[in-house]
Chains A and B, each alone.
Chain A
Amino acid sequence: NAGVTQTPKFQVLKTGQSMTLQCAQDMNHEYMSWYRQDPGMGLRLIHYSVGAGITDQGEVPNGYNVSRSTTEDFPLRLLSAAPSQTSVYFCASSYSAAGEYGYTFGSGTRLTVV
């Protein structure tokens, strides 16, 4: 079982560049979400999706876009990267938002914006 797969694992961007962080899960989970982890800040929710075609904003959505065209994939787009977006990004999935059966996390993408 692959679980939650994030690509790439590492990325360096120049300010103003755009890119897409990929997240895919093979567990048929309806719920998926994106977090960023910064030292001393814990994990902060960027966007989440409760099913294909449905997305919503989390705590820190500015500068990020998402879409959910399939159950399996939930890409995160940076439209114009800024140094403040330097962070480690985690994708997670679950059967439901409540997580009574648990959340599964990807291994993360370490992004540096210079």
Chain B
Amino acid sequence: AQSVAQPEDQVNVAEGNPLTVKCTYSVSGNPYLFWYVQYPNRGLQFLLKYITGDNLVKGSYGFEAEFNKSQTSFHLKKPSALVSDSALYFCAYSGTALIFGKGTTLSVSS
């Protein structure tokens, strides 16, 4: 079955340090991959997507993600974390619908 997996329930990082939130996929063909963020008691906000082309995708709020076909990964990264980046992050793929991973809680400490 096709899916995306987020192997870490929680990621902790100090402010100013680089952050990575991991996502791996098991999707046939050329996947469309997405990252969304959810702040407490809010809806989902789009961060970035990979459709085709350059494997390094730049998105909102300084986030980027690298599509790696050989490792079937689409990790979310940011060079310098902010406390305000603390939120719940979802990786997703689209086919007949947008299917989400279970989410990773990012906690950035000051």
Contact = CB atoms under 8 A, between A and B. Distances in A.
Nearest to B34: A99
Interface residues of B, number: 20
Contacts of B101: 42
Interface stretch (B12-20, B61-69, B70-78, B91-99): B91-99
Nearest to A45: B97
Contacts of B49: 99-100, 102
Contact of A33 (B46, B51, B97): B97
B24 to A, nearest CB: 15
Nearest to A43: B100
Nearest to B9: A40
A59 B46 CA distance: 22
A105 B90 CA distance: 14
B102 interface: yes
B95 A97 contact: yes
Nearest to A91: B43
Given A40-B102, A41-B102, A102-B49, A97 B43 contact: no
A75 interface: no
Contacts of A98: 32, 94-95
Given A106-B43, A108-B43, A99 B99 contact: no
20 contacts: A33-B97, A35-B100, A42-B90, A42-B102, A42-B103, A43-B100, A45-B97, A58-B97, A90-B44, A94-B98, A97-B96, A98-B94, A99-B34, A99-B49, A99-B94, A99-B98, A100-B32, A102-B46, A103-B46, A107-B43
Given A56-B96, A105-B44, 15 more contacts: A33-B98, A40-B103, A41-B102, A43-B90, A44-B100, A45-B99, A97-B94, A97-B96, A97-B98, A99-B34, A99-B98, A100-B32, A100-B51, A102-B46, A103-B46
